[in-house]
Structure 1
Amino acid sequence: MRFQREHLPHTKHLFFTGKGGAGKTSAAAASAISLAESGCRVLIVSTDPASNLQDVFHVSLSNEQTPVPGINGLYALNIDPEEAARVYRENVVGPYRGKLPDAAIKSMEEQLSGACTVEIAAFDEFTRLLAAPDVENMFDFIIFDTAPTGHTLRLLQLPTAWSDFLDQSTHGASCLGPVSGLQEKEKMYQQTVRTLSDSQLTSLFLIARPEESSLAEAGRASAELKELGISNQFLLLNGVHPGSMSTDSITEIYIHQQQEAIRHMPEELKGLQQYRIPLLPYNIEGMDGLRLLLNQDTANAEAKQEAVLPPVLDLPSVDTVVDDLIQRDSRFIMTMGKGGVGKTSMAALIAVKLAERGFPVHLTTTDPANHLQHSLKDKKLPALLTISSIDPDIETTKYKEDVLSNVQDDLDQDSLLYLQEDLDSPCTEEIAIFHAFAKTAARAKSEFVVLDTAPTGHTLLLLDAAQSFHHEVLRSQGELPSEVKRLLPRLRNRQETSVLIMTLPETTPVLEAERLEADLLRADIQPAWWVINHSFLAARVEDPILQGRARQEAKWIERVHANHPHRTSLIPYQPIPRRTTITSQP
């Protein structure tokens, strides 16, 4: 069924969530515009660390409500996790400056240096919007353009997780500072839990592309959210090809794979009310494009008929990238980018090519959603290739056991209880993953290590861990492991490490990749290559709809190449076979 405005539920809170690149920002923004232009007062909110909402509306956003130009009654805001964390830290520490000794202030700041502080600070803003009567009364609808699925799940799980933590904590040994300060907000957290699980107040759209991995992640999200009591769910399939008279093999396989992915979607999704947005021959950009998204007429939109596709730049292939990695003997390789740009498949491809050329290679993932197993289906793996993943639950358990075994003989009972309670804080998982990440990087002395990192926001937190967790690791475990000490210098050394920025030849992926590069440069990490993936233009497609999308790609390919003239690789779109699970190897 074609998605239109009348299909929007009449609940005050509407969530649009899904894998990165699924189109949740466009769907949320189009819904917000449609509701506002029907006479409603609407607030649209982004809780994504890599938000692109301001790109959609062409307006600078902050954590304050900002009117969207040209649309009466529509307001937008972006919850910036880093800024929220800065404000949160100062709110906790500020009142004590000048009243407590410097050592005490330093200790408080140290406790607030973990990545989970960023999470809870952003959640404070999120909770404020759901629980604040003034915001509730001001708007008819509040629409949340949430982060990629893994981050969204963590965000929405926080109310329950932190309620449990507050109930169990009595000594104030939290990575978020004194528990007494958090206790003041416990009622607000409880109200947020009730709001999220109330089907009269909250509806959630799971956005997915008609692709196996996107639908699989939507299925996982659906199941986990239902466990949290968020059951008023809808499935929105975005980018469904309406069918084609073209007989070229790429289009036939593309349509067939979409149909097969929909037919074999997870059982969790089959019972949901489903809506569809057709694949359009143009990118959704600007207000007019967003208005058309919920317009029935776009289902019959035709691509502009032009005689030929524009020429495509002759850019290096993956083989050229691999040649460069071998020539520079860069043993630690990371693919980075927004979720959905193909960094997992690219990491797997590079690892296989290196192993096929006779080099020992270890391929791993730090992605909580563990997409790596989806990228190697039906591939005969070279003997020199080993595969593993960093499982957050396993690594957290191992980390706790290691910490306690190292210090339990040296601590009295009260100190041991204090440490055990501190290890129950959410920061522990981040620290544990960081340790495993550092150990994997250490393998690059004897073999190539290819790391498939998590989506952009999580990747930035992971890289920042080497600095922001230094004191946390030292406080919890004593002596820093040698691999931890060496990690950031190795990341900054281009002779040892090559960072590949992955993107798609589309507006939002390129803009977000540019922001990622800027963040990496501020951390003194110089990307080695930009890889533009899944290009219809490079594949010279024949289908009118796909050709329409191919024409839109040209300016973004040229932009990336202009900024990185000698370090840009272009990968044609290639249909991907159905996937099965690959077992990790030690």
Structure 2
Amino acid sequence: MYSMFRPEEMSFSRFLFFTGKGGVGKTSTASALAITLANLGKQVLIVSTDPASNLQDVFEIELTNNIISIPAVEGLFACNIDAEEAARQYREKVVEPYRGKLPDSVIQTMEEQMSGACTVEIAAFDEFTNLLTDAKIEATYDHIIFDTAPTGHTLRLLQLPMAWTDFLNESTHGASCLGPLSGLAEKKELYSKSVSTLSNPSKTTLFLVSRPEESTIHEAKRASMELREVGLENQILLINGVLQECIQTDEVSSAFYKKQQRALKEIPAELRELNIFEIPLVSFSLTGIDSLKKLFLIDKDPTSSFSSEIIKLELPPFEKLINDLHDRGIRIILTMGKGGVGKTAIASAIAVGLSEKGNRVHLTTTDPAAHLDNYFPEGMSSENLTISRIDPDVEVENYRNEVLNKVSTELDEQAIAYIKEDLESPCTEEIAIFKAFASVVDESKHEVVVIDTAPTGHTLLLLDAAQSYHKELERSTGEIPESVRELLPRLRNNKQTEVVIVTLPEATPVLEASRLQEDLERAHIYSNWWVVNQSFSATDTTDPILSRRAVSEQYWISKVKNKLAKHFSVIPWLKNETIGFEQLKKLVRK
């Protein structure tokens, strides 16, 4: 449908940024481009600032924040900025002056406030700003490729004036991104230069990486619009993993191809304005120099040199999860995982499965992209099941108004601008929906509650640290609801609560799910179950591309089984959408 991405026939700016939803192939695409450019005689540096990056796995060499050459590719250099370590050092720099001067409970709250994704992103930006503005680096390399670009939110924050008031430095209004920003004022000029470079189309190109799927295309549109707002107009959309042809007699192959083609036809107008290129779906794992070299060589057979031998693994059915939840009498079930892995479908299927066993079930979601009504278009088919939705937009708007009303008479316009931008962060949304989330969990006294997308472990710790959220809620409302007081004890009680981690049998979704599990364990919330969704290993496809992808899934399914999950189930890639009560019942029995 679109032209193939053939970088050897194109010219590129010096700075190349890759962004996109987790699991779309940012790292492999950026790495393959770096190899191609180096093989064309260019001096290339590839840098990752993504905490989920597997850049060193891709190149099969240990990487640090020190630039090293890639031995197998002349002219290619790489470094892997440890964003988590940068964030740790950044937190310590901000918090250290207050140690011994403030109570330990306050220090604990400050540290947890700066443990979220926003702090990691800003700390990472702090690191690669040095690469972006270093004249020696720019003179050494023809192209500098960044795996993972900053978000529009971060760039808008850095464009704001850095003259913090005493009120902001001492504020406890609850927004968790203010802490790290208080230490950025000293680098105002450096950040200004960085943002200027990013918005210069002759110097910088932004690659939006997506899959031919509705959810990842929607994320690409959001990122595109957000980054255009801060001046990054030079954008290219790469649709990664497009099956070029299907086997009509293979039901899985035919359905997979048609589903992708529908998504491509429905690319929104805002993205159609960009240069759009396809990258074919390949059958092999994009790890190692030889594999990466083949990614853009569409005129060669990508399946010829790779094994198609599938090692049969025991793939426990989804019904096993339903039976366990029912037999243990679990009252609170949370489905968690990164976007695009199928959390909403899994939550809906769990709710249907438990209601079919005679439980009264309440299904709800806090995910702004999830529409439970889409899964039940014909209405309810069980008197045991009710559905609701926590609307993040409504909850966030109420929270923002509450915060701004408190400070509007105390601050000047510049200070209010800081708070308004900070309240646009993902952390704010997590805080804002917390009260509604606590109220829904409270209903578990009377029925089983299934919640699609729960607050992260970071948020739960932030809210628990020194009872900071309790104090904020008491200050704003005059009372602390019993539901809030009881929330964390309930979530930490494994006789009442089960966290079901949902992933795909691929590198990035599994690695990110693993970090999510570690994050929850910091909050003393433990998961017994993983669901591996959309597995080709669990189908009988004979398509040469899809069957070889099934082979590559084996490693990640084994990793979940043997190292990450106490129990797990596998759901095959389904040619039909799990829409409607009857379809969800069939999914339960898969």
TM-score normalised by length of structure 2: 0.82
Q: Which residue of 1 aligns with 2:459?
A: 462
Structure 2 residue 259 is matched with structure 1 residue 260: no
Residues in 1 aligned to 2:147 and 2:91: alpha-carbon distance in whole angstroms: 25
Residue 21 of structure 2 contacts residue 219 of structure 2 at CA under 8 Å; is this kept in 1?
yes
Q: Which residue of 1 aligns with 2:102?
A: 103
The structure-2 alpha-carbon separation of the partners of 1:169 and 1:42, relative to structure 1 and needing over 3 Å to count, comes to farther
Q: CA deviation at 1:240?
A: 1.2
The structure-2 alpha-carbon separation of the partners of 1:299 and 1:327, relative to structure 1 and needing over 3 Å to count, comes to same
Residues in 1 aligned to 2:487 and 2:65: alpha-carbon distance in whole angstroms: 34
Q: CA deviation at 1:339?
A: 3.4
Q: CA deviation at 1:253?
A: 1.4
Q: Which residue of 1 aligns with 2:451?
A: 451
Residue 112 of structure 2 contacts residue 458 of structure 2 at CA under 8 Å; is this kept in 1?
no
Residues in 2 aligned to 1:535 and 1:543: alpha-carbon distance in whole angstroms: 14
1:306-326 CA-partner distances (Å, limit 9, x unpaired): 6xx646434332222112112
Residue 17 of structure 1 contacts residue 145 of structure 1 at CA under 8 Å; is this kept in 2?
yes
The structure-2 alpha-carbon separation of the partners of 1:27 and 1:133, relative to structure 1 and needing over 3 Å to count, comes to same
Determine which of 149, 156, 159 is the counterpart of 1:160. 156
Q: CA deviation at 1:402?
A: 4.9
* Aligned positions of 1:417-436 closer than 5 A: 424=420, 425-426=422-423, 428-436=428-436
The structure-2 alpha-carbon separation of the partners of 1:188 and 1:320, relative to structure 1 and needing over 3 Å to count, comes to same
Deviating more after overlay: 156-165 vs 244-253: 156-165
The one-letter code of the counterpart of 2:224 is S
Determine which of 471, 474, 491 is the counterpart of 1:474. 471
* Aligned positions of 1:502-513 closer than 5 A: 502-513=502-513
Partner secondary structure for residue 537 of structure 1: coil
Partner secondary structure for residue 22 of structure 1: coil
RMSD value over aligned CA atoms? Answer: 3.8
Q: Which residue of 2 aligns with 1:526?
A: 526
The structure-2 alpha-carbon separation of the partners of 1:54 and 1:513, relative to structure 1 and needing over 3 Å to count, comes to farther
The one-letter code of the counterpart of 2:317 is S
The structure-2 alpha-carbon separation of the partners of 1:394 and 1:329, relative to structure 1 and needing over 3 Å to count, comes to same
Partner secondary structure for residue 524 of structure 2: coil
The structure-2 alpha-carbon separation of the partners of 1:210 and 1:504, relative to structure 1 and needing over 3 Å to count, comes to same
Residues in 2 aligned to 1:119 and 1:461: alpha-carbon distance in whole angstroms: 15
Partner secondary structure for residue 4 of structure 2: coil
The one-letter code of the counterpart of 1:498 is E
Deviating more after overlay: 24-33 vs 155-164: 155-164
The one-letter code of the counterpart of 2:348 is A
The structure-2 alpha-carbon separation of the partners of 1:111 and 1:304, relative to structure 1 and needing over 3 Å to count, comes to closer
Residue 119 of structure 2 contacts residue 180 of structure 2 at CA under 8 Å; is this kept in 1?
no
Q: CA deviation at 1:442?
A: 2.9
Deviating more after overlay: 80-89 vs 557-566: 557-566
The structure-2 alpha-carbon separation of the partners of 1:142 and 1:51, relative to structure 1 and needing over 3 Å to count, comes to same
Deviating more after overlay: 136-145 vs 414-423: 414-423
1:396-417 CA-partner distances (Å, limit 9, x unpaired): 3322455688xx7xx9975999
Q: Which residue of 1 aligns with 2:587?
A: none
* Aligned positions of 1:279-428 closer than 5 A: 279-298=281-300, 301-302=303-304, 310=310, 312-367=312-367, 370-372=369-371, 376=375, 378=377, 380-382=379-381, 384-391=385-392, 393-402=393-402, 424=420, 425-426=422-423, 428=428
The structure-2 alpha-carbon separation of the partners of 1:305 and 1:211, relative to structure 1 and needing over 3 Å to count, comes to same
Residue 112 of structure 1 contacts residue 176 of structure 1 at CA under 8 Å; is this kept in 2?
no
- Counting aligned pairs with the same residue, the percent is 44
Residue 390 of structure 1 contacts residue 437 of structure 1 at CA under 8 Å; is this kept in 2?
no
Q: CA deviation at 1:439?
A: 3.5
1:493-525 CA-partner distances (Å, limit 9, x unpaired): 211211122222334433443444344445433
* Aligned positions of 1:167-316 closer than 5 A: 171-173=167-169, 176=178, 181-298=183-300, 301-302=303-304, 310=310, 312-316=312-316
Residues in 2 aligned to 1:252 and 1:278: alpha-carbon distance in whole angstroms: 16
* Aligned positions of 1:489-504 closer than 5 A: 489-504=489-504
The one-letter code of the counterpart of 2:386 is L
Residues in 2 aligned to 1:418 and 1:481: alpha-carbon distance in whole angstroms: 35
Residues in 1 aligned to 2:224 and 2:541: alpha-carbon distance in whole angstroms: 35
Q: CA deviation at 1:262?
A: 0.9
Partner secondary structure for residue 375 of structure 2: coil
Q: How many residues align?
A: 560
Q: CA deviation at 1:388?
A: 0.9
The one-letter code of the counterpart of 1:161 is L
Partner secondary structure for residue 323 of structure 1: helix
Q: CA deviation at 1:532?
A: 1.6
Residues in 2 aligned to 1:25 and 1:379: alpha-carbon distance in whole angstroms: 41
Residue 315 of structure 2 contacts residue 538 of structure 2 at CA under 8 Å; is this kept in 1?
no
Partner secondary structure for residue 280 of structure 1: coil
The structure-2 alpha-carbon separation of the partners of 1:417 and 1:242, relative to structure 1 and needing over 3 Å to count, comes to closer
Residues in 1 aligned to 2:232 and 2:486: alpha-carbon distance in whole angstroms: 43
Structure 1 unpaired stretches of 5+: 581-586
The structure-2 alpha-carbon separation of the partners of 1:298 and 1:402, relative to structure 1 and needing over 3 Å to count, comes to same
Determine which of 18, 32, 35 is the counterpart of 1:33. 35
Q: CA deviation at 1:11?
A: 1.1
Partner secondary structure for residue 394 of structure 1: helix
Residue 25 of structure 1 contacts residue 145 of structure 1 at CA under 8 Å; is this kept in 2?
yes
Q: Which residue of 1 aligns with 2:4?
A: 2
Q: Which residue of 2 aligns with 1:584?
A: none
Residue 311 of structure 2 contacts residue 551 of structure 2 at CA under 8 Å; is this kept in 1?
no
Q: CA deviation at 1:482?
A: 4.1
Q: Which residue of 2 aligns with 1:52?
A: 54
Structure 2 unpaired stretches of 5+: 172-176, 581-590
Structure 2 residue 588 is matched with structure 1 residue 574: no
The structure-2 alpha-carbon separation of the partners of 1:385 and 1:88, relative to structure 1 and needing over 3 Å to count, comes to same
The one-letter code of the counterpart of 1:103 is L
Residue 282 of structure 2 contacts residue 302 of structure 2 at CA under 8 Å; is this kept in 1?
no
Residue 332 of structure 1 contacts residue 496 of structure 1 at CA under 8 Å; is this kept in 2?
yes
The structure-2 alpha-carbon separation of the partners of 1:105 and 1:565, relative to structure 1 and needing over 3 Å to count, comes to closer
Residue 351 of structure 1 contacts residue 385 of structure 1 at CA under 8 Å; is this kept in 2?
no
Q: CA deviation at 1:170?
A: 6.7
Q: CA deviation at 1:203?
A: 0.8
Q: Which residue of 2 aligns with 1:540?
A: 540
Q: CA deviation at 1:81?
A: 4.0
The one-letter code of the counterpart of 2:7 is R
Q: CA deviation at 1:289?
A: 0.9
Residue 363 of structure 2 contacts residue 451 of structure 2 at CA under 8 Å; is this kept in 1?
yes
Residues in 1 aligned to 2:408 and 2:38: alpha-carbon distance in whole angstroms: 62
Residues in 2 aligned to 1:192 and 1:86: alpha-carbon distance in whole angstroms: 23
Residue 15 of structure 1 contacts residue 205 of structure 1 at CA under 8 Å; is this kept in 2?
yes
TM-score normalised by length of structure 1: 0.83
The one-letter code of the counterpart of 1:263 is K
Q: CA deviation at 1:566?
A: 6.5
Residues in 2 aligned to 1:480 and 1:545: alpha-carbon distance in whole angstroms: 56
1:551-574 CA-partner distances (Å, limit 9, x unpaired): 333343344333478612111110
Residues in 2 aligned to 1:516 and 1:178: alpha-carbon distance in whole angstroms: 22
